[in-house]
Structure 1
């Protein structure tokens, strides 16, 4: 009797586990709900963050200020809204023999199939990886407007696999392209309406990815670079990242940077794929000149685009976050 009960429980668990998968593809494994562990509710998450803050902050007053900023940025009302409206999972998939981590966010309820956005994150390695806070701050608001969002952490991120290395626009582009294969297996996703966008380094990933696929209808970049070699004159310290990430960088510096710089191959971009460029003039990490120079080149090559510049705003567009989100949402609603 005990054995039969165990078998029944295992079958039920297996069925319920499969039923909650947001991607119905056997190549996608380890699908886990984002709203678990300390992220089950807002108070649990906040308490977890408070413990983390306490390890670094000795002053009670500074701790209160930090928690106040946390509440201002996130907040229980916003958390509950997104948990009610959205489904979110992390997952793993295999690319070039590497286990790569990804994430998917989608509205729980929709009367029609929804357009899909592939999101390309910024940073490199674990730095800039998409954790729950960045999902809630940057991706949940977009998905809540009626989009399925899927993205890659890129190989080597949050992963101890010794052979997996983020090449900053090298073989990691395959991690982005591989996501395309899973879109038809997402319930409620319209595989005929796919857009792509990226922030910072993610803009480079976006341009490199669309060179290899032809079914992306529109793209957008936020605070992104367009010429890595020229970018070193704006921010020389980025060379440390290139030395660490890009294979054979010292031997082939110019060639490797040019390969990753859309400004060198603008003429190869599709004349039917509109491009949105968003940037702040006070961006200290990626100069606004990257987007301005690219917009000039797009005009010269008659490629449809829109350049949106926010005066005095920074790399993260903190002063115009909601306005920039509306710009992005309207762009993809118009073209997808």
Structure 2
């Protein structure tokens, strides 16, 4: 579907079981990538999201502003595009069989950052999960320096003038003390992730522990950014997590 945010047309999608008589919990899915790279095509839906819908969840997601258009520079990588995520919450009461009182949020890679940024502006999410999420973008530059030239300079407004401030604002590690103790967080990461260091999830878990935020850390030994070797375990973790807390 198409929807308007800040006078910009954004693409979204809904996936849900065909037949159900009951109200179903909802997952807002925040994708990875940036601009047109990483957009959720049908193959990605089948691989990553259909299994969740098959387990009884309504899945709704945004492609983020500019995706699949000639102007994919609208994506600010954690700037105004966060509004594209928040706007989805207003759709949920209008989706048949979707339970607006049982909403979770799932973010993969960049979507992990997107999830924490969105959580700053809503209290309607009961539980969240992130897969290979970046929690400290400043430290990540040491691990993957080409992100600066390929993504940050291009997408983040005023990046060259305010590099430190912009990266810190997008890094949940800088505001763990502001997180709600009522929203449990599942962290999943592969130990051999070459795109987002596993230390993002490990150090974030330690910070959550310090601030008494309920959480669970799952690290799949030897697996990469896409967790291909642990697909069934990943799906099981997600389904069990959201079934427990939604």
Tell me, yes or no, whether TM beats 0.5: yes
- The question of 1:149 aligning with 2:65 is answered no
Aligned to 1:96: 6
Residue 229 of structure 1 is matched in structure 2 by 138
1:120 maps to 2:34: no
Matched residue of 2:128: which SS? strand
SS state at 1:180 partner: helix
The correspondence for 1:330, drawn from 235, 240, 243, is 240
- Kindly name which structure, 1 or 2, has the bigger radius of gyration based on alpha carbons: 1
1:282 and 1:160 map into 2 onto residues whose CA distance is 35
C-alpha separation in 1, matches of 2:65 and 2:106: 19
Q: What is the 5 A alignment of 1:249-264?
A: 249-264=159-174
- Give the whole-Å Cα distance in 2 for the aligned partners of 1:98 and 1:111: 35
- Give the superposition deviation at 1:159: 1.6
Q: Distance in 1 between matches of 2:145 and 2:134?
A: 14
Paired with 1:280 and 1:111, the residues of 2 have a C-alpha distance of 37
User: 1:207: which partner in 2?
Assistant: 116
Report the equivalent of 1:58: none
Q: 1:268 and 1:283 mapped to 2: Cα distance? A: 28
Could you list the per-position Cα deviations for residues 304-323 of structure 1 after superposition, in whole angstroms to 9, with x for gaps in the alignment?
A: 00000000000000110110
Structure 1 residue matching 2:188: 3-state secondary structure: strand
Give 2:212's match in structure 1, choosing from 302, 318, 324.
Answer: 302
Match of residue 199, structure 2, among 289, 293, 301 = 289
Pick aligned residue for 1:133 from 43, 64, 72: 43
Cα distance in 1 for residues equivalent to 2:91 and 2:182? 24
Q: Which has the higher contact order (CA 8 A, sep 6+)?
A: 2
Q: Are positions 1:171 and 2:80 aligned together?
A: yes
1:109 CA drift (Å): 1.1
Aligned mates of 2:83, 2:102 — CA distance in 1: 20
Aligned residue pairs, count: 245
Residue 160 of structure 1: how far off its partner (Å):
2.7
Correspondence for 1:34? none
SS of aligned partner of 2:91: helix
Q: CA RMSD in A?
A: 0.9
* Superposition map of 1:58-69 within 5 A: none
TM-score w.r.t. the length of structure 2 is 0.98
How many Å separate the matches in 2 of 1:109 and 1:277?
A: 31
Matches within 5 A, 1:18-33: none
- SS at 1:309 equivalent: strand
> Which residue number in structure 2 is paired with residue 216 of structure 1?
125
Deviation at 1:111, TM superposition (A): 2.5
Q: 1:242 aligns with which of 141, 146, 152?
A: 152
Q: How far 1:161 sits from its partner (Å)?
A: 4.8
Return structure 1 stretches of 4+ with deviation > 4 angstroms: none
Q: Distance in 2 between matches of 1:156 and 1:258?
A: 24
Hey, which of these two has a bigger chunk of helix by percent?
1
* TM-score, L = length of structure 1: 0.72
- Indicate how the Cα distance of structure 1 residues 236 and 161 shifts in structure 2: closer, same or farther if over 3 A, else same: closer
Can you give the 5+ residue segments of structure 1 that lack an aligned partner in the other structure?
Answer: 1-90
